[in-house]
Chain A
Amino acid sequence: GQQLNQSPQSMFIQEGEDVSMNCTSSSIFNTWLWYKQDPGEGPVLLIALYKAGELTSNGRLTAQFGITRKDSFLNISASIPSDVGIYFCAGQSNAGNNRKLIWGLGTSLAVNP
């Protein structure tokens, strides 16, 4: 099935550094979502974006819905050890009742204390 291009695939950074990851798509979406998944757990919603150009923050996290509606980025500022995990982007169109999520392959983040 369709998947989003998410990069980077993995990152290894020092505590306190800022992190940036992004997702691109060949098709447009009405909603962009960013989730974090810890090992053995389900994904947890971090930020939801509903409008092209929207910039939304959640604590140290900031995400933007690209103007073209085909991309989104997530920034994490001043990383801490508990930021470790896998971050997934997901896009959703408004077509149809089911409105499935299209997923990126994930960015694995490791933080060195």
Chain B
Amino acid sequence: GAVVSQHPSRVICKSGTSVKIECRSLDFQATTMFWYRQFPKQSLMLMATSNEGSKATYEQGVEKDKFLINHASLTLSTLTVTSAHPEDSSFYICSARRPDTDTQYFGPGTRLTVL
């Protein structure tokens, strides 16, 4: 297996503030990480692909200025939700692709609530 951590696990913020979520691969180096959003009782929706040392690739309909992604090292990617609004409240999950098995391992998720 592999271990991917996410921090924080839960965050409550006021509307208009920005929130940063960290994703770390703890036992392997990941050139590629992914950020997902999941609504209740639904599957995971890919937001963006984060490549170390280059700009993230965003899925259609995802605002890159709203969801800032930085992948500055082979073990860390961050997602910043800027000027958060209540409709941004969701469960955000990251994953890291293990290069030797070409398989994605997921973090435990971050529950964001915007008041």
Known: A35-B106, A101-B104. A42 touches B43 (CB 8 A): no
How many of chain B's residues have a CB under 8 angstroms from any CB in A?
A: 28
When the two chains form their complex, are residues A97 and B109 in contact, meaning their CB atoms are under 8 A apart? no
Question: Is B17 interfacial (CB-CB < 8 Å)?
Answer: no
Question: Is B44 interfacial (CB-CB < 8 Å)?
Answer: yes
When the two chains form their complex, are residues B102 and A42 in contact, meaning their CB atoms are under 8 A apart? no
A1→B17 CA distance, assembly (Å)? 30
When the two chains form their complex, are residues A41 and B59 in contact, meaning their CB atoms are under 8 A apart? no
Known: A40-B111, A42-B6, A98-B57. A105 touches B106 (CB 8 A): no
Question: Is B13 interfacial (CB-CB < 8 Å)?
Answer: no
Q: What residues on B are CB-neighbors of A106 within 8 Å? A: 43
When the two chains form their complex, are residues A31 and B102 in contact, meaning their CB atoms are under 8 A apart? yes
Q: What residues on A are CB-neighbors of B103 within 8 Å? A: 31, 33, 45, 48
In the complex, chain B residues 55-96 whose Cβ is within 8 Å of any chain A Cβ = 57, 59-60, 91, 93, 95
User: Residue of B at shortest CB range from A35?
Assistant: B106
Question: Is A81 interfacial (CB-CB < 8 Å)?
Answer: no
Interface residues on A, range: 20 to 34
3 shortest interchain CB distances as A-B pairs: A42-B106, A103-B43, A98-B49
Starting from the known contacts A41-B109, A92-B102, 15 additional A-B residue pairs (CB-CB under 8 Å) come to A1-B60, A31-B103, A33-B103, A40-B91, A42-B109, A45-B1, A45-B106, A48-B101, A97-B51, A98-B57, A100-B46, A101-B34, A101-B104, A104-B43, A105-B42
Which residues in B have some Cβ–Cβ distance to A below 8 Å? 1, 4, 6, 32, 34, 42-44, 46, 49, 51, 57, 59-60, 91, 93, 95, 97, 101-109, 111
